[in-house]
């Protein structure tokens, strides 16, 4: 038995994705959802439910990171855990969000990436990209990136526009029809770019609509969601899977 912990959790697509995969693959397992109000109880609940593995979503990823027995891989750098796994009676924490993003854009042969936004998602993604530059509306959150030697710009001082991959990690566009930067900046960026990603899923944002006008190859938050799920499934089953084939199964049920 597997599950996802979150609050809220009713919107999560993970049970649908993973149960469909189990069924299609003839694996006799099931995957549920658990609305957890108090994140400090996450490990206790994991044990009470006798889970083999779990996913963790907002707002409990930091609790999972702090409370699991051991953290492995990139989760150590991100300081957030989205996958828990029972290994030899220990609960091990992993993060498949950022590696899932990397897998989702594998076919993009980019050289110069720009991340728009400087929040949690931008931090995680910056760890799996080659030397990204950061563009954000304010400079409050730049310390993390600057400590790593990454270039940062605000809307007022950006002076280079020759990026080939543009990634929107802001929540602009989530509930309103707005672009993540003023229009003239987006236009200059898209003119030179080849690829783009919007991490938001479930709707076509203004950012994506604009990217389509410039014929950019694009990925969305759905690709990211699917590949974090594929990597979590590899951990759950403790075996390498054909990622593209498993992703196609997830897309089949999600689209
Ligand atoms: P954070 O709150 O950590 O960061 C939000 C960022 O967006 C900040 O840089 C903020 O700028 C910027 N921002 C917010 N509103 C605007 C606006 N109107 N115009 C310009 N910039 C804005 O959020 P997260 O990083 O946790 O999440 C960001 C997005 O990523 C969400 O939409 C979320 O749904 C999505 N997401 C998708 C995932 C997936 O699997 N597809 C996984 C995780 C997240 P400032 O610093 O100036 O406030």
CATH number, position 127: 3.40.50.720
Question: Per the domain annotation, does 244 fall within a domain?
Answer: no
Contact (Cβ atoms closer than 8 angstroms) between residue 34 and residue 3? yes
One domain, residues 53 and 140: no
Query: Containing domain of residue 60, as a range?
Result: 2-95
Q: Which one from 24, 50, 52, 61 is the annotated catalytic residue?
A: 61
Nearest CA owner, ligand 1 atom 15:
172
Q: What is the pLDDT of residues 8-27, one digit of tens each?
A: 999 999 999 999 999 999 99
Name the domain boundary from 69, 95, 121.
95
pLDDT value at residue 133: 98
Say how many Å lie between the CA of residue 121 and the centre of ligand 1: 7
| Test site for ligand 1: of 116, 126, 169, 175, most ligand atoms within 8 A of the Cβ | 169
Nearest CA owner, ligand 1 atom 14:
171
Question: Per the domain annotation, does 243 fall within a domain?
Answer: no
Give the binding-site residues of ligand 1, using a 6 Å CB cut-off.
97, 117-122, 136-138, 140-141, 169-172, 174, 178, 180, 199-201, 221, 224-225
Residue 97, phi then psi, degrees to nearest 5: -65, -55
- Can you tell me whether residue 242 is helix, strand or coil? coil
Q: What is the pLDDT of residues 23-75, one digit of tens each?
A: 999 999 999 999 999 999 999 999 999 999 999 999 999 999 999 999 999 99
One domain, residues 49 and 21: yes
- The domain that holds 86 is classified in CATH as 3.40.50.10860
Name the domain boundary from 70, 95, 120.
95
Is the pLDDT reported for residue 176 higher than 90?
no
Nearest CA owner, ligand 1 atom 34:
200
One domain, residues 106 and 203: yes
Percentage of the chain modeled with pLDDT above 90: 94
pLDDT value at residue 224: 96
Q: Indicate the burial class of 105 (C-beta count within 10 angstroms; 0-12, 13-18, 19 or more).
A: buried
Question: Per the domain annotation, does 138 fall within a domain?
Answer: yes
One domain, residues 112 and 191: yes
Nearest CA owner, ligand 1 atom 12:
170
pLDDT value at residue 31: 98
Name the domain boundary from 46, 61, 95.
95
One domain, residues 91 and 112: no
Task: Using pLDDT thresholds of 50, 70 and 90, give the confidence band for residue 120.
Answer: confident
Segment 124-133 shows an average pLDDT of 96
Q: CA nearest 220: which of 120, 121, 101, 136?
A: 101
Question: Per the domain annotation, does 232 fall within a domain?
Answer: no
244 assigned to active site: no
Segment 210-225 shows an average pLDDT of 96
Say how many Å lie between the CA of residue 200 and the centre of ligand 1: 9
One domain, residues 117 and 87: no
One domain, residues 84 and 118: no
Task: Using pLDDT thresholds of 50, 70 and 90, give the confidence band for residue 146.
Answer: very high
3-state DSSP percent of the chain in helix, strand and coil, to 5: 40, 20, 40
Say how many Å lie between the CA of residue 39 and the centre of ligand 1: 22
pLDDT value at residue 201: 86
Question: Per the domain annotation, does 252 fall within a domain?
Answer: no
Say how many Å lie between the CA of residue 172 and the centre of ligand 1: 7
Say how many Å lie between the CA of residue 21 and the centre of ligand 1: 30
pLDDT, the chain, mean: 96
Task: Using pLDDT thresholds of 50, 70 and 90, give the confidence band for residue 174.
Answer: confident
Given strand 165-168, what is the order of strands in its sheet? 152-154, 133-136, 113-116, 165-168, 195-198, 217-220
Is the pLDDT reported for residue 105 higher than 90?
yes
| Test site for ligand 1: of 14, 80, 116, 170, most ligand atoms within 8 A of the Cβ | 170
Question: Per the domain annotation, does 231 fall within a domain?
Answer: no
ipTM of the complex as predicted: 0.95
Q: What is the pLDDT of residues 86-97, one digit of tens each?
A: 999 999 999 999
One domain, residues 209 and 109: yes
Give the E-state strand segments of the chain in sequence order. 2-6, 31-35, 53-56, 70-71, 83-87, 90-94, 113-116, 133-136, 152-154, 165-168, 195-198, 217-220
Nearest ligand 1 atom to alpha carbon 141: 46
Question: Per the domain annotation, does 253 fall within a domain?
Answer: no
DSSP state string for 33-90:
EEE-S-GGGHHHHHHHTT-SEEEE-TT-HHHHHHHSSEE-TTHHHHT--SEEEEETTE
Is the pLDDT reported for residue 173 higher than 90?
no
Give Cα separations from 47 to 60, 91, 93, 138, 213 (angstroms): 16, 9, 14, 42, 50
One domain, residues 80 and 121: no
């Amino acid at each position: 038995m597997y599950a996802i912990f979150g609050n809220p959790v009713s919107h999560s697509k993970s049970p649908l994705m993973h149960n469909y995969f189990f069924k299609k693959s003839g694996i006799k397992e099931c995957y549920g959802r658990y609305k957890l109000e108090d994140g400090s109880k996450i490990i206790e609940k994991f044990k009470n439910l006798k889970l083999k593995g779990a996913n963790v979503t907002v707002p409990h990823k930091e609790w999972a990171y702090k409370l699991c027995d051991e953290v492995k891989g990139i989760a150590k750098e991100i300081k957030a855990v989205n996958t828990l796994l029972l290994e030899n009676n220990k609960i091990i924490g992993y993060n498949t969000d950022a590696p899932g993003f990397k897998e989702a854009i594998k076919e993009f042969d980019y050289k110069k990436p720009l991340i728009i936004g400087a929040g949690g998602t931008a931090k995680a993604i910056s760890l799996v990209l080659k030397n990204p530059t950061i563009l954000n509306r304010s400079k409050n959150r730049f310390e993390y990136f600057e400590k790593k030697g990454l270039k940062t710009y605000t809307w007022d001082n950006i002076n280079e526009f020759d990026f080939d991959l543009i990634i929107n990690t802001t929540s602009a566009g989530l509930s309103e029809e707005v672009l993540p930067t003023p229009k003239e900046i987006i236009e200059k960026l898209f003119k030179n770019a080849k690829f783009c990603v919007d991490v938001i899923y479930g709707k076509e944002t203004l950012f994506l609509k604009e990217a389509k006008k410039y014929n950019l190859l694009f990925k969305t938050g759905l690709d990211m969601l699917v590949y974090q799920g594929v990597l979590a499934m590899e951990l759950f089953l403790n075996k390498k899977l054909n990622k593209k084939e498993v992703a196609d199964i997830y897309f089949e049920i999600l689209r």
